Structure 1
Amino acid sequence: MSPAPTVLVIGGVGFIGRHVVTYLVENNLASEIRVVDKVLPHTAFLNERQNEAFRKVEKDGSSFDFVFNLAAETKYSMSERFYEERIFLLSTLNAKEAAKRGVKCFVEVSTAEIYQSDKKPSKEDAKIIPWTTIAKYKYRAEEELKKIPGLNLVILRPSIVYGMGATAGLTPRLVCGRVYQHLNEEMRCLWSKDLKINTVHVLDVARAIWHVAVWYRDNEKAGKGPFVYNLSDPGNTDQAKINGLITQIFGVKTGYHGSSIDKLAQHNLDGATDEVNDKHATPWADLTRESGIKATPLSTYVDKELLYNNALSVDGTKIVEETGFTYEVPEVTVEKLQEIIDDFKLNGLWPKDMI
């Protein structure tokens, strides 16, 4: 039997990266793991399970079979130059080095936000109209990576990734649910109940990253790619589903503002964004202060780019059909969202429950 592969995880302290590292360590999948990240693990709000995994990560290493690129700027509404450096150049420089070193598989984690907003699920060959600036530079990076000679490339495009430790994606909705529980008010959303916000659990993303690398190597796909796969569970999540789960968790009523407010928001999204964020910020600050929380990565803040009426509808079946991958978390459930909250509670990052 050949030795287990050596792995470099770039951006390995981030939300997805920490789950990848933990998955590799706990399942003894790699003979050596090295993590590169601008953030130090002890400042990244890792939970104890993740901290234990990082204690077993190698400090050295320069030769790797697999490289997983999860490094990218995740803040919205930054300057174009910022994304040029922290997404496009970062990805291309890492990929060129991987090609030069003969890495057996380079997995680039992109985003499904590159697709045209549409109720119809986007397949990998769907029309490309990125609807966030991050997605614009992710797609530019994808296209540049495809041109690099000798790069053994697999690109993954996940929909909204959620799970323990997530501070973006679905988590701000959970934070707002806690705020409305505190306020004893109905939680109302912009746009319609059937707005698609398709999802994929972070553990399935971690499994998929490893799965495609091994599949690429074992099926002798070198030089035959690049291969591009969406990652999206079959649950076809929309706003109505998430709101229903929030009602179950927090006992708050949920609803929608209606067409007149939606139209106003479309014409003045800056004002709508400010109003939404102002509504939630003070109650959340009160909740954390009353619970004695001095620092938390959680926030009610929602960026304007994410408040547009854009559907994220993604077909994640190609990776199943072509590589044999299976989704172990087929849909969002109360239990999976509660895991997120409980993990933050355990680490002293979530306000105390109402009495």
Structure 2
Amino acid sequence: MEKHGRKMKAALVGCGQISEVYFNNIQKRFTNLEITACCAAHFESAQKAAAKYGIHACTYDEILEDPSIEMVLILTPAPTHYELVKKGILAGKHVYTEKTLALEVKDAKHLAELAEKHNVYLSAAPETFLGAAVQTAKKAIEDGRIGKVTSFHICANRDYDILSSLYSFLREPGGGICFDYGVYHLTALVELLGPVDNVFARWQNYKPVRKHSVPGMPGYGGMFDSQGESIAAAVLQMENGVTGTFMMNAESNMWDIIDFRIYGEEGVLILPDMNSFGGDVRLIPNTTRTAGEEIVLEPVSDLTGNCRGIGPSQMAEAIAAGTKSRVDSSLAIHVLDIVNQIITSGVQSVVKKIETSI
């Protein structure tokens, strides 16, 4: 996505592992942005990143006081997002944050109201739906390749014993399988089929206490609390009446195994992992009579690798054009609402209405 014209100056907040791909992609690919500063909870992390990428390491307050910086990219753990986003908005900055926008829908709505009041843009990940895979599937649906959509099925699994040993933020609020991983699939679903109307769900925290299982890391062999949901199953009904299933399991295989299908009267679409941007989108037309006979669809774009950074780049493009961003906060709020209502439905054993839309 080559951009021309003025570059919007941005600062990156949080210099952990995920920051590397943002630094690299924005420097080399999404050239309507320029990262000029960074900060981190551990200042030495910001200093290392600054030295590597030729930018300034500073505090968040210094970033917010810098009039040349128009956008802040927040890559910190989810529990920190609300306060960091709020401070950015109040300082007059456009804000893009990694998932989720906040932990509670009321807080996310408040941030969106503040952004509107202060005339700044607010967006949140996941941005993976902008990649070639989801957009290829969307075009296939719009072109009638599977006819009228009748249902969908989403099933994904991970291994939280290993992953939460590696990444401590998965142990915190907002680190459960639906909040951290399910949001990719739910965002893709909403992009493909529109908003969700209601949910009925069951979930559990399968292992409230886990054993650190990664040799060579600090804490190996010790025990730690794991706070979030690790298994969840839900029936989702879309506003258009289509009903399907959503299943997340963090108590299984280390390597993510995904089954994401959209069923239609004239065929079935099989999508790859929604945590990535690309991957084969396969079509099984109902004219196929041989098991396993599939058509791999031609990608609609070259956004097939790890394209993190496309979200803030698209937001910068929308700001320049004065149009609504495709990663607008309304989408993030709706997906957060779905996740929260999955949790509430599981506690109350009732169908929960999704009050937000897009």
TM-score interval, normalised by the smaller of the two chains? 0.3 to 0.5
- TM-score calculated relative to the size of structure 1: 0.37
- In terms of fraction of residues, the more helix-rich structure is 1
Question: Which structure carries more strand by proportion?
Answer: 2
TM-score normalized by the length of structure 2: 0.37
